[in-house]
Amino acid sequence: MVVRVPYGEDVDVAVVSWNSWPRLRDSLPALIDQDYPAYRVVVVDNASSDATAESVEAQFPDVTVIRADRNGGYGAGNNLCISRSRSAYVAVLNPDATPERGWLRALVRALEAHPDAALATSKVLLASDRRRVNACGNNVHLSGIAWCRGLGEDQQDFAAGEPVAAVSGAAFLARRDVLDEIGGFDERFFMYMEDTELSLRARLAGYDVVLAPRSRVAHDYEFAIPAWKFYLLERNRAFMLLNIFRWRTLLLLAPLLAVTEAGVWWWALRTGRATFRAKAASYAAVARELREALRIRRRVQAMRRVGDAALLAHMETALPRSVAGASAKSMQMADVVFAWYAKALRRVVRW
């Protein structure tokens, strides 16, 4: 049985699925075989058309299935599990991520060892080469662009339970009481960037985010940014910045954001018409939803316990070459400008 005699703190593990039955068929056995003594596996089916819910119930009877009436996205699916959870912790796992046997125990121990932390992220390895990292948390640039921390690097180089800017949504653990306090995922995001926004919101409320290096999963990952994904990334980046920073910080960030936007527009133009249109559509979406975005911003800012200076301290000044997609020379110039600007910004921002 997956739900065992309670011992220590109980955990609900949320796995959100949309037509993911072939992946769940491979990953659920490893999730059911965890060595943690008290946990429940919950598959949230986002109105799949591939009979995911029925297949899980038939082949994995110990797994709880929640049927959503529509595909509200990754965040909404996880929020369904969170809203029905009564456990001390909620873990989130992608359906295409296969955990090692000690995955869950290591996550819980990481939060127990860091009482000021609200979120602990797993060491996510590339399924194609488990010696290499997919993500040891996420890095976040001052412009809000986020990327996989340690992508492609040797997994042995990430052995410390250290602070990270944000969790990887592929596999992490959250304290339920903190989720009750700050809210779950921002469902407007649908998918992408919601893990980073949740992490920064937790930091805004005064909590830390840490890596649990002994908690390992293998993720079937391939880096690609089609136009529809680019639209979501850019729209959600704008929503995240609006949620997190004070107005005066955004004003001071404006020159850096303008330079970043120019670079993003240039990349979109070079990539193709579909990507260029996607960038324009992200602006239109933010304008269309601005009233609701400002309402949510007021709610997020009301939970603030730390200043923007603390948030900026965890952010990067240099973009990885794989994300930027620009020439080495232009990126070196951008890194110098961003580093100089960030140094000046951090001297000014004392709030």
How remote is the C-alpha of 257 from its chain's centroid? Answer: 21
**One domain for residues 47 and 146:** yes
**One domain for residues 210 and 265:** no
Q: Which whole number is the average pLDDT over 181-202?
A: 97
**One domain for residues 242 and 138:** no
Residue 323 is predicted with a pLDDT of 53
**One domain for residues 232 and 328:** yes
**Whole-number percent of the chain with pLDDT over 90:** 89
Q: What gap in Å lies between CA 281 and CA 284, rounded to an integer?
A: 5
Q: Which whole number is the average pLDDT over 130-148?
A: 96
Any domain includes 282: yes
Q: Which of 38, 28, 48, 49 is nearest to 4 (CA)?
A: 38
Q: Which of 216, 29, 258 is nearest to 130 (CA)?
A: 216
Residue 327 is predicted with a pLDDT of 61
The answer, yes or no, to whether residue 211 has pLDDT greater than 60, is yes
Q: Which whole number is the average pLDDT over 319-347?
A: 78
**One domain for residues 254 and 322:** yes
Any domain includes 309: yes
Domain at 51, CATH number: 3.90.550.10
pLDDT band at residue 331 using 50, 70 and 90 as cut-offs? confident
**One domain for residues 141 and 237:** no
pLDDT band at residue 3 using 50, 70 and 90 as cut-offs? very low
**One domain for residues 139 and 19:** yes
**One domain for residues 232 and 330:** yes
Q: What mean pLDDT, rounded, does the chain reach?
A: 93
The answer, yes or no, to whether residue 144 has pLDDT greater than 60, is yes
Count of the separate structural domains present in the chain: 2
Residue 4 is predicted with a pLDDT of 36
Lowest mean pLDDT among 166-170, 220-224, 246-250, 291-295: 220-224
**One domain for residues 21 and 158:** yes
**Whole-number percent of the chain with pLDDT over 70:** 95
- Domain hosting residue 159, numbered range: 11-219
| pLDDT tens-digit map of 47-57 | 999 999 999 99
Residue 150 is predicted with a pLDDT of 96
Residue 328 is predicted with a pLDDT of 66
**One domain for residues 128 and 106:** yes
Q: What angle do CA 300, 18, 214 make, to 5 degrees?
A: 70
**One domain for residues 132 and 185:** yes
Spell out the residues 6+ positions from residue 288 whose beta carbon is closer than 8 angstroms to its own. Answer: none
Any domain includes 325: yes
Q: Which whole number is the average pLDDT over 198-218?
A: 98
Residue 103 is predicted with a pLDDT of 98
Write down which residue in 219, 247, 274 finishes a domain.
Answer: 219
Write down which residue in 176, 193, 219 finishes a domain.
Answer: 219
The answer, yes or no, to whether residue 27 has pLDDT greater than 60, is yes
Any domain includes 241: yes
| pLDDT tens-digit map of 108-131 | 999 999 999 999 999 999 999 999
